[in-house]
Every structure is written in C-alpha cells, then in structure tokens.
A = this chain, B = another copy of it.
Amino acid sequence: MPTDTTPTDAEAACFEAGIKFGSLYHQFAGTPVSPDSAATLESAIEESIENQPHCTAVTVDVLTDELEAELADATADYTELTGRFLEVEIVIDYEGCEVVTRMEMEDGYPLMRLESVRDEQSH
C-alpha cells in the first residue's frame, strides 16, 4: 500500500521556519560589525526577515560582550558577523500552525533547532 507523502501543515510550517533561518544566516554573515553598530544591525536583520511570508516575529541579539572580548585582542575595532556573535529566535505561523525556532552556539557551532510546533487546527 502506498504511503501518503503529502506534507502536513505542521511540516510546511517547519520548512518555512528553516528557510528563514538559512536566509538570515547566509544573508548577514560576513557583515562588518562593531559594538557601536550592533543595535542598528539587529533591527535591520529583524525587519528584513519579517518581510518574508509566514514570519510572525524575529528577535536578533548581537552579543556585544562577545564582540568586545574578540576585539580586545585585535588590531581592528570591528569584525565580521558570524554565528558566535548571534542569538536568534524566529516564530512562524503557517495555516494556524505556530513554530518557534532558535539559534545558539553549541560545541562551537551555531545550532539552529526547532523549539516547538503547535497546530491550532488539531484542537
């Protein structure tokens, strides 16, 4: 008997959440950033990704403590944005299904993971 492989709304919502994370990271990684320019960059990243479909909320923290620690030993006063200076939360709503996702460092890698998937339709 063939299995139905049609994606559910919850699966589509998770796919959309992944797209936003990949977009955010690969659009903005490499951006020159300093403690002084971090706040404006946070807002620009949030507003940019919130333009994308089904994206309810994006919260970006550029970790200025980590930036300052990196720059304390450096000859320059800025560096390139990369995963170890970023914490991100993205909330997706797709056809009544809400997905919450986060990116944080784990073992030296920026790990993107699904926090929760809540399908309003199923109640």
Where the two chains meet, the residues of A that have a C-beta atom closer than 8 Å to any C-beta of B are 3, 5-8, 10-12, 14-27, 29-34, 36-37, 40-41, 43-45, 47-53, 74-78, 80, 82, 99, 101, 107-109, 112, 114, 116-119, 122-123
How many protomers of this protein does the assembly include?
A: 4
Known: A18-B19, A40-B43, A40-B44. Contact between A53 and B30, CB under 8 A?
Answer: no
| Closest A-B pairs by Cβ, 7 of them | A18-B18, A22-B22, A44-B44, A51-B78, A22-B23, A5-B116, A37-B47
Docked-complex contact A75 and B107, CB < 8 angstroms: yes
> Can you offer 9 A-B residue contacts whose CB atoms are under 8 A?
A7-B14, A7-B117, A14-B14, A19-B19, A20-B22, A27-B30, A29-B80, A37-B47, A75-B109
